[in-house]
Amino acid sequence: MKSILTTLFFFILLCASTGAMAQEGVIIYEVKVNLHRALTKERESMKAMMPEFNVSKQALYFNQQASLYKRMVDEEEEAAAGTSGTSFRIRMGGGELFLVPSESKRISLREFNGKKYLIQDSLSTLPWKFGKETKTIAGYVCRQATYFQEQRNQTVVAWYTEKLRPYLGPDSYASLPGAVLELDVNNGERVVKALQVDVRPLKKGELVEPVKGEKVTEKQYQAMLSEQMERMRQGGGNIMIRN
């Protein structure tokens, strides 16, 4: 791990000398999740009661040292969230992901049933395989890289540009030599695509490390989530998860 961090640090310094790292700004992504594909065969009857896709927007604020990935909530969504009706719902919203590549620092802020949790761990370098294909996204020529996540049985196709700083991207996909502008998980199961790249000075408060929330480990958080989901299934209530 020490050798990886050392290599990462010197690579960042090299990019700084070329001017790529001097950039800061915000990337707006559209996140499109296929809800029907996530259903098991036993729950296929639920397709008639739910839309096929869930579409949302995320913002990635970045400077030369850090990045903050967070959900954008519009007025219509805020209004819908406030009308829960008679059904009990699990709400997970307001999540943020804060990364500092040079320190291998990763802090995830998650909200579950109205309470905030902070999960801190280290960044990991994914075993990407680089392709020769290119395409233009949001005005930037991007290169292709693929990664297979064996534990989740997921194939991830990423498109990144070297015109923006390295180790920058949505979620935890921030280990490529450029900024990730598009992700495709399992051929359309989940697609994250940049709609707009705005290179500009950041405003005060746009890129701030999350510090408020109960500190838990990833294992503790997942156990808590699974326990609550099981209680809801046994109680026959409706479950709503907002990513």
Evaluate whether the domain defined by 25-218 bears CATH number 1.20.1630: no
Residue 12 has pLDDT above 70, yes or no: no
Average pLDDT of the segment spanning 190-206: 96
SS3 180: strand
Sheet with 129-137: strands ordered across: 129-137, 140-149, 154-161, 179-185, 190-199, 25-34, 53-62, 67-72, 96-100, 105-112, 115-122, 214-215
Among 11-20, 92-101, 117-126, 194-203, top mean pLDDT goes to 194-203
Q: Residue 175, exposed/middle/buried by CB under 10 A (0-12, 13-18, 19+)?
A: buried
Q: Which residues in 73-211 belong to E strands, given as ranges?
A: 96-100, 105-112, 115-122, 129-137, 140-149, 154-161, 179-185, 190-199
Q: Which of 131, 132, 127, 197 is nearest to 169 (CA)?
A: 197
pLDDT recorded at residue 236: 54
Using 50, 70 and 90 to split pLDDT, how confident is the model at 74? low
Among 70-79, 101-110, 135-144, top mean pLDDT goes to 135-144
Residue 33 has pLDDT above 60, yes or no: yes
Lowest mean pLDDT among 1-15, 57-71, 130-144: 1-15
Residue 90 has pLDDT above 50, yes or no: no
Average pLDDT of the segment spanning 196-224: 94
Lowest mean pLDDT among 57-66, 80-89, 93-102, 121-130: 80-89
The full set of domain ranges for the chain reads: 25-218
Which of 14-42 are b and which e, b meaning 16 or more Cβ less than 10 Å from the residue's Cβ?
ebeeeebbebbbbbebebbbbeeeeeeee
pLDDT recorded at residue 47: 73
Using 50, 70 and 90 to split pLDDT, how confident is the model at 84? very low
Residue 238 has pLDDT above 80, yes or no: no
Using 50, 70 and 90 to split pLDDT, how confident is the model at 94? low
Average pLDDT of the segment spanning 158-185: 96
CA pair distance 133, 140, nearest whole angstrom: 14
Average pLDDT of the segment spanning 112-135: 92
Average pLDDT of the segment spanning 54-76: 88
SS3 203: coil
Q: Long-range contacts made by residues 219-223, C-beta under 8 angstroms, separation at least 24?
A: 221/110, 221/112, 221/117, 221/119
pLDDT recorded at residue 241: 44
Query: What torsion do the CA atoms of 234, 231, 38, 96 make, to the nearest 10 degrees?
Result: 160
Q: 25-34 and 96-100 as β-strands: parallel, antiparallel, unpaired?
A: unpaired
